[in-house]
Amino acid sequence: MIALCREHADKADNGAYTDEQLRRFKSEAAKHETEISGRFDWMRHEIVVHAGGTFFVETPVLVEIDGIPSIWFSRNQLGELMLNYDMPPRGRTRIQENTWIVTPGDVREIVSPPGGRALSVRYTNGDYFGIEYREVPDAEEFVRRFPGAASHMSALNRLTFPVTVASITDTTTDGRVVLHPDHTTLMGGVLRNNWLERCGVGFAISSPMPLFTEEQQRAIASAAKAYNESGLT
């Protein structure tokens, strides 16, 4: 699989490039360590997130580590939610206001189909990052897609359908917060099938040692300042 940006991928699907040209694109990207980026076009006023087996509803900061947001939402001028993702310690795949950015050094495969609703990143050491947006028409389909929701029917019935759900998986092997499809591994513990609704912060984690490099701390602190000044609650 050859990883391409969205524009080149669309053209490749339509036969615009030869195999040799596609191989050259991949070689040049690896040589120059060019960041690969794209954008999620799904912006809604309300989004349910299913990450690591936990459902987050009307929760602007999903995960915060040492006081710094790692997964959070900001809003644009129209009030639409935009996803941000910068999970320590390496941040090889990150999202800044719906724009995803992948550093391709040890990437084996990137898949981002046309439509701006999904991203799949596989690394040479077996790590995986994936996110997918989908619209769920009713509670019955919600439970079919996410069986764990069956134990949260009273909360599920409070949702207004159709509802947009963003599913996030991040199984990076050297991360202390690992988001599996059905559970979260958190510094040795396991969290499974939680429903967090109208929380300022979903998971607030204090680590015994820094999870971020100094450069990451400065960059994310800047993003956190912008979030705090936005007035989002």
CA 73, distance to chain mean position in Å, is 11
Instruction: Give the closest residue to 73 by CA, choosing from 105, 91, 95.
Output: 95
Q: Is a pLDDT exceeding 90 seen at residue 21? A: no
Q: Mean pLDDT of all residues in the chain?
A: 83
Contact in structure between 102 and 92 (CB atoms under 8 Å): yes
Across the range 124-130, mean pLDDT stands at 92
- Return the percentage of the chain with pLDDT > 70, whole number: 74
6 — pLDDT class (breaks 50, 70, 90) = low
Instruction: Give the closest residue to 40 by CA, choosing from 112, 88, 138.
Output: 112
**How do the domains of the chain map onto residue ranges?**
1-34, 35-230
Cα–Cα distances in angstroms (integers) from residue 166 to residues 40, 57, 145, 178, 232, in the given order: 11, 11, 12, 17, 19
33 — pLDDT class (breaks 50, 70, 90) = low
**What is the model's pLDDT at position 210?**
55
**What is the model's pLDDT at position 34?**
74
**What is the model's pLDDT at position 116?**
86
- 76-110 pLDDT tens trace: 999 999 999 998 766 689 999 999 999 877 888 99
State whether the Cα torsion 222-227-228-230 is positive or negative.
Answer: positive
Structure tokens of 160?
Answer: 């207004």
**What is the model's pLDDT at position 29?**
54
**What is the model's pLDDT at position 184?**
94
